[in-house]
């Protein structure tokens, strides 16, 4: 489908935005090839407003028809431009291509020419052309060629110095805000791709990143890149595996060192990291214990803001949080004990204690001794049923010390509470 998106419009009426949107919808309602027109108006002030929207046309719209629509919309923009009527460029979407149309005929002719040439370029499967250009390549092998071809086409237009990015399913090469070709990053990527199996890359003039298929190749690939004669010009270098997802900005050296130490561990499903936080998704508590033994009590882990283990999904939910190795080991042992019981629906453990959600109130008395055995003395614990009919916060001592609820409406059946406390106190 081809979509025309209106990103800004004002109209001179009491409800300027909504009125402008309605008029534009009517304008295109009977236009051939147009199958849907949608707008959303904002009435900022009396007689001033804005509206956004989209126009969808048939999937098989020809280049000629796209040009006709661009001219039509440009004419509408110019005809209705006034003190009360302002426009932002209109976005035309044709399958995987998107074009930005404004009221300047020369700009639109140039954009339509780029659209036609990019469609005909080998390896190009999509593109977005506006104040920054994004080109989609068919594969990583085509990435650099597509980037260079797009840069050559942009070079003869008023967009020559605008940002250009090429992507290919996890691989990205960008010239940054100034559109400068990242020569060193591209050379390093080409060399690495010939040596290692890659699943992703991020190349720009200021930083260099690789994502490898195998975690076991990370150390070798890191050394390989560092040994390149131009490595210093790459900026910060990040090498991870497909197991790892990094978010945020900053120095990942600390968390990367921990991830490298872990390597490939059976049962470790995913690693998410920021420069100061590490989240490890595992398929079992046993897998978490294996990973944690490799992390150990080293300073790099102890000084993180957060280190977290979790299951994929929430059936049952399992979360262990802590940067202190001894605390994590204790929490993982607690989780291992409690999650052997199908009565437990969820367990969240942190350095001060934990939160355990169980199936119902019927099994609480039998469950109390298990909780007592699992938690260290002095821990803060909350036991709650899935339906929240029972919730008890207490300190793990004998006799059990109940923490008063924070809110008056947090009430629990006193007989059920008394039975749980008695079972706890009686347990060894």
Question: Over the stretch 151-185, which tens digit does the pLDDT of each residue have?
Answer: 999 988 888 888 999 999 899 999 987 778 999 99
Question: Residue 310: its pLDDT value, please?
Answer: 95
- DSSP codes of every residue in 88-129: PPEEEEETTEEEEE-S-HHHHHHHHHHHHHHHTSTTEEEEEE
Percent of the chain past pLDDT 70, that is, above it, reads 92
CA distance 103 to 78: 6
Residue of 76 and 319 predicted with greater confidence: 319
| Ramachandran angles phi, psi of 273, nearest 5° | -140, 150
Confidence grade of residue 290 (pLDDT, cut at 50, 70, 90): very high
Question: Residue 9: its pLDDT value, please?
Answer: 45
Task: List helix spans (H) across 237-343.
Answer: 253-262, 285-295, 299-302, 325-338
**Sheet containing 391-395: which strands, arranged edge to edge?**
244-246, 268-273, 277-282, 306-311, 317-321, 344-350, 353-358, 380-385, 391-395, 401-402
CA distance 24 to 33: 16
Overall pTM surpassing 0.75 (yes/no): no
Q: What is the mean pLDDT of residues 74-81?
A: 81
* CB-CB contact of 308 with 289 (8 Å): no
Confidence grade of residue 11 (pLDDT, cut at 50, 70, 90): very low
Q: What mean pLDDT, rounded, does the chain reach?
A: 88
* Element at 147 (helix H, strand E): helix 143-154
Instruction: Express each pLDDT in 338-362 by its tens digit.
Output: 998 899 999 999 998 899 999 999 9
Confidence grade of residue 248 (pLDDT, cut at 50, 70, 90): confident
Domain boundary assignment for the chain: 1-120
CATH architecture assigned to 1-120: 2-Layer Sandwich (3.30)
Residue of 74 and 47 predicted with greater confidence: 74
């Amino acid at each position: 489908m081809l979509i025309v998106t209106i990103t800004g419009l004002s109209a001179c009426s009491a409800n300027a935005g909504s009125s402008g949107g309605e008029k534009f919808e009517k304008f295109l309602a009977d236009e051939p090839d147009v199958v849907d027109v949608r707008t959303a108006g904002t009435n900022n002030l009396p007689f001033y407003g804005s509206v956004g929207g989209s126009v969808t046309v048939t999937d098989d719209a020809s280049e000629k028809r796209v040009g006709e629509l661009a001219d039509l919309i440009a004419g509408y923009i110019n005809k209705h431009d006034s003190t009360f009527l302002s426009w932002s460029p209109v976005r035309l979407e044709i399958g995987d291509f998107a074009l930005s149309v404004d009221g300047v005929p020369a700009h639109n002719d140039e954009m339509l020419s780029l659209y036609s040439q990019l469609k005909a370029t080998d390896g190009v499967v999509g593109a977005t052309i506006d104040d920054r250009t994004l080109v989609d390549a068919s594969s990583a092998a085509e990435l650099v060629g597509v980037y260079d071809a797009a840069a050559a086409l942009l070079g003869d237009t008023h967009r020559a110095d605008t940002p250009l990015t090429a992507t290919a399913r996890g691989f990205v090469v960008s010239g940054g805000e100034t559109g400068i070709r990242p020569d060193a990053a591209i050379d390093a990527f080409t060399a690495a791709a010939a040596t290692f199996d890659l699943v992703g890359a991020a190349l720009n003039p200021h930083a260099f990143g690789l994502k490898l298929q195998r975690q076991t190749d990370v150390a070798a690939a890191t050394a390989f890149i560092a040994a390149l004669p131009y490595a210093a010009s790459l900026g910060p270098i990040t090498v991870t595996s497909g197991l790892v997802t990094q978010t945020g900005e900053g120095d990942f050296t600390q968390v990367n060192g921990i991830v490298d130490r872990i390597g490939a561990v059976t049962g470790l499903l995913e690693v998410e990291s920021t420069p100061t936080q590490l989240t490890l998704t595992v398929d079992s508590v046993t897998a978490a214990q294996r990973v944690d033994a490799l992390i150990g009590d080293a300073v790099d882990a102890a000084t993180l803001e957060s280190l977290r283990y979790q299951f994929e999904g929430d059936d049952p939910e399992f979360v262990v949080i802590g940067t202190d190795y001894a605390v994590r080991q204790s929490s993982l042992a607690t989780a291992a004990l409690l999650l052997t019981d199908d009565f437990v629906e969820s367990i969240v453990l942190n350095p001060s204690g934990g939160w355990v959600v169980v199936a119902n109130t019927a099994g609480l008395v039998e469950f109390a001794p298990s909780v007592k055995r699992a938690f260290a003395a002095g821990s803060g614990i909350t036991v709650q049923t899935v339906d929240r009919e029972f919730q008890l916060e207490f300190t793990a001592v004998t006799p059990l010390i109940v923490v008063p609820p924070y809110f008056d409406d947090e009430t629990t059946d006193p007989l059920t509470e008394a039975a749980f406390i008695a079972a706890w106190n009686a347990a060894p």
